[in-house]
Structure 1
Amino acid sequence: MKLSTTGSNLIIVALSAWIVLATITWLFGAAWFGVLDEITTTSIPALMIMASITLGGMFLLVLGGTYKISSSMGKVWVLLGTGLFFWLAGEMLYYSYEVQGIEPFPTVADLFYYIAYLPLTAGLVIQMRLLKTSLSAAEKALVIVLSVLASAFIIYFVLWPAIDAFLATMTDPLALFAGIMYPVLDIILLIGVFMVSAKLRRGKINIAWILILAGLIMTTVADSLYWIADNQGIDEMFNWYDFAFLISYLLITMGAIKGISVISTTFSS
């Protein structure tokens, strides 16, 4: 698939309009759709999120196809796209449990969410190896500081409250284990994102990487917001952690589109 700069810009404008529509929906959705049945109000944000994940995964796989899949760079994009499709599978299962009135945690959906971190992290590790740039002492320090700060935030606001709640009741160890896995995996993913970000230098393809990495950071932010709300027993219609998830997938989609455009124009010139 080839994509001109104009074509990629038009798609990004369309995705930006999608973000504006989503923002309006989240701001006024409770008032507009509050009179509808629970399945409908659950379906609207869920379907918007699943559509966004599908776009992100699809364009990442297309980007991988612009290289030889057997090449290291091709593997990076395919792994990232595969990770998104595992997230999509988890999201679809989670949604199906919700509409059936089944408690969606912990379930098989969580297994797909967990598996997604494997190709995502593997893709980042390969990219780190491809970027031969040596980090300066200041860059290494920045990566360490960001990793420590992010880990401390996740441990304090997400991990410890889950452990504390379990210790207070000593019930459902499976739910505790399932809940602990998310912040741990988020921390690992964030460290990979920070490492790749620090190694980026000037170049058109790096704009694509910046958008994708920003999207991955946003997914961990959304994940943390979800668990903070869950630990506090907050369950609102059109909640903002779902909005953050939506934005994260659209950022990744924009990055993949930008990457396809850069490769298309570079090799056609």
Structure 2
Amino acid sequence: MKLPVRIHCVLAPLVIVLCLLLPEGLPRAVLNTLIGFACAGLVVLGVHRNRPRGAAAWWLIAAGVGAWTLGDALYSYLELVLGISPFPSVADVSYLAAYPLLTAALWSFVRSRTGGRDREGVIDTAIISIGFALLSWIFLMQPTLADGSATVPTRVLAALYPVGDVLLLALLVRLFTSSGARSASFRLLGAGVVLMLVADSVYQVQSLDGVYSPVLDAGWLASYACIAAAALHPSMRRLTELEPSAGVAFGRGRLLALMFASLLSPGTMVLQLCLGLSLEPWAVALSSVVLFVLVVVRMSGLLARVQEQSAQLAALARTDALTGLPNRRSGDAELHRLQQEAVAEGRPLAVAVLDLDRFKSFNDTFGHPAGDRLLSQAALAWTAGLDGTGAVLARWGGEEFLVVLPDRDLAGAAAVVDALRARTPLGQTFSAGVAQWDRTETLAALVARTDEALYEAKHAGRDRVVTAGAVPAAQQPVPPRPSQQQPSPRAAAEPPAQPVA
């Protein structure tokens, strides 16, 4: 933490306590106003010292704090100097102007951090904001508008304050649900806005009963001090940086916040019943419907994301990460599938194993990154060469590749594989063994014969394709011997022997 922030964090609490210790009246009002304007000036100082990329949001923050403080100054002047009622008055114009300035600043932070993305964050913000908007309507706005002792313009003006608080809360929640680092400046700014909302909401509740607690001044002054500290801290530059990912993880805290917000509608009705207040069924019903729809949309989005991630994981399990080809497991599955098709349709099937020549020497000479490039480029080149043949190319392991060639006899398969030699990149060569399935051997035996042919190609000097011979007679499956209980066809044709007399 830099020196200006340390000095501010030490002096600000002392000055706030001094302000509260002063007797109510003009001295306290003057010091209160000076603290507010000083905090707005410190925000400007923080912008000049730290030079963030998106300075406009911080200028709006400074203007919002300044407008709120100007409202305090006008309010105190009308009440303490002129002795007239400060509500409604020109002070309300300054107070109400602070809300759009601060909300615009928070919106600018959100846009800078998310780039306008993050649909899930918008839905979460709507869920939480609607829940608190219902509370504000029932306990603040509706009683204010129903107050028959005040004129209609006065009631509407008083109701604009909770509307501004709800708007500011919505943008604060949207900021909290955005991506980006939770830096010291981020936390200080959030704490400042929260203190401002709490103090403002308590003041509005007390004003319904004509009560005002001077302790609330501490809440507003503390909010100004936190916002000033956020601007002075060097991490304030990161508040306007675009993050590569939108939104934050859907953790337990976010889930609990959404659950609490979703229960605010029925919980508000329960609270009204417990307090003996008149019910607001239409407000509760409408907010419940909107919240239900938003929760369903949010859950459907989560489900779609889970399904997408599941598909990605399944693809990763089947694919070789380096070459993008099917891995050995997928190659086995494809070989089995094509064998079943060959059995069902009576078609030939051949298998080849390709092995890059002297791959270890290539790695030792040019390095492992070059070896990886060779593998990936060979996979691309061979895939292009097999296009239209119906063959399946898979990475078998290391520098070995499996090629399954349906509808190809031994000579045709060898010709297809031999044509790939010219496509091998970086001037490298490969050796290959090719074998045709004899329709009786197991797939393991077929691959074993292919490997033997590959070894022959290696021993013969590499850079060639060798075909495997037929399965030796000794390895052919032996037909089962006729059972002793079942007569041979010839014995069945002969008449039974007559018993000897």
- Quote the Cα distance in structure 2 between the aligned partners of 1:6 and 1:90: 31
Q: Does 1:9 align with 2:13?
A: no
Select the residue among 163, 169, 189 that pairs with 1:212: 189
Amino acid at match of 1:209: F
Q: Which residue of 2 aligns with 1:163?
A: 145
Q: Alpha carbon RMSD of aligned pairs, Å?
A: 2.6
Q: Deviations over 1:101-157 (max 9, x none)?
A: 1100010110111112222121111111100276585x6665344323432332232
Deviation of 1:89 after TM superposition, in Å, equals 1.6
- Quote the Cα distance in structure 1 between the aligned partners of 2:230 and 2:208: 33
**TM-score with structure 2 length normalisation?**
0.43
- Quote the Cα distance in structure 1 between the aligned partners of 2:131 and 2:217: 24
- Quote the Cα distance in structure 1 between the aligned partners of 2:105 and 2:35: 20
**TM-score with structure 1 length normalisation?**
0.76
> What are the equivalent positions in structure 2 for 1:44-123 lying under 5 Å apart?
44-66=27-49, 73-99=54-80, 100-123=82-105
Asked if the contact 1:64/1:75 (under 8 Å) is kept, the reply is no
- Quote the Cα distance in structure 1 between the aligned partners of 2:197 and 2:28: 19
- Quote the Cα distance in structure 1 between the aligned partners of 2:212 and 2:123: 39
Q: Deviations over 1:61-87 (max 9, x none)?
A: 22333466xx86111111110111111
Q: Which residue of 2 aligns with 1:38?
A: none
Asked if the contact 2:185/2:230 (under 8 Å) is kept, the reply is yes
- SS of the aligned residue for 1:104 comes to coil
- Quote the Cα distance in structure 2 between the aligned partners of 1:223 and 1:8: 26
- SS of the aligned residue for 1:116 comes to helix
Distance of aligned partners of 1:200 and 1:214 in 2 relative to their CA distance in 1, 3 Å threshold: farther
Deviation of 1:90 after TM superposition, in Å, equals 1.2
- Quote the Cα distance in structure 2 between the aligned partners of 1:235 and 1:157: 17
Asked if the contact 1:64/1:76 (under 8 Å) is kept, the reply is no
- Quote the Cα distance in structure 2 between the aligned partners of 1:20 and 1:136: 43
Q: Deviations over 1:38-82 (max 9, x none)?
A: xxx2224423432232122112222333466xx861111111101
Distance of aligned partners of 1:230 and 1:114 in 2 relative to their CA distance in 1, 3 Å threshold: same
Distance of aligned partners of 1:209 and 1:49 in 2 relative to their CA distance in 1, 3 Å threshold: farther
**Where do 5+ consecutive residues of structure 1 fail to align?**
34-40, 264-269
Q: Which residue of 2 aligns with 1:143?
A: 125
Amino acid at match of 1:250: A
Amino acid at match of 1:16: P
Q: Which moved more, 1:81-90 or 1:7-16?
A: 7-16
Q: Which residue of 2 aligns with 1:195?
A: 174
- Quote the Cα distance in structure 1 between the aligned partners of 2:93 and 2:131: 27
Asked if the contact 2:113/2:180 (under 8 Å) is kept, the reply is no
- SS of the aligned residue for 1:124 comes to helix
> How many aligned positions are there?
235
Q: Which residue of 2 aligns with 1:233?
A: 210
Asked if the contact 1:83/1:120 (under 8 Å) is kept, the reply is yes
Asked if the contact 2:230/2:236 (under 8 Å) is kept, the reply is no
Q: Does 1:18 align with 2:15?
A: yes
Select the residue among 221, 226, 250 that pairs with 2:225: 250
- Quote the Cα distance in structure 2 between the aligned partners of 1:87 and 1:159: 21
- Quote the Cα distance in structure 1 between the aligned partners of 2:74 and 2:209: 24
- Quote the Cα distance in structure 2 between the aligned partners of 1:197 and 1:17: 30
- Quote the Cα distance in structure 1 between the aligned partners of 2:103 and 2:35: 21
- Quote the Cα distance in structure 1 between the aligned partners of 2:5 and 2:50: 18
Amino acid at match of 1:183: P
Asked if the contact 2:50/2:232 (under 8 Å) is kept, the reply is no
Structure number with the higher strand fraction is: 2
Distance of aligned partners of 1:128 and 1:178 in 2 relative to their CA distance in 1, 3 Å threshold: same
Distance of aligned partners of 1:200 and 1:55 in 2 relative to their CA distance in 1, 3 Å threshold: farther
Structure number with the higher helix fraction is: 1
Q: Does 1:124 align with 2:109?
A: no
Q: Does 1:177 align with 2:156?
A: yes
Asked if the contact 1:135/1:198 (under 8 Å) is kept, the reply is no
Asked if the contact 2:71/2:92 (under 8 Å) is kept, the reply is yes
- Quote the Cα distance in structure 2 between the aligned partners of 1:162 and 1:262: 39
Deviation of 1:255 after TM superposition, in Å, equals 1.5
Q: Which residue of 2 aligns with 1:266?
A: none
Q: Deviations over 1:213-248 (max 9, x none)?
A: 221122121111111111112145xx2322211221
- Quote the Cα distance in structure 1 between the aligned partners of 2:26 and 2:227: 23
**Where do 5+ consecutive residues of structure 2 fail to align?**
238-501
Distance of aligned partners of 1:95 and 1:20 in 2 relative to their CA distance in 1, 3 Å threshold: closer
Q: Which residue of 1 aligns with 2:457?
A: none
Structure 1: 4+ residue segments shifted above 4 A: 19-23, 133-137, 139-142
Q: Which of the two has higher C-alpha Rg?
A: 2
Amino acid at match of 1:146: I
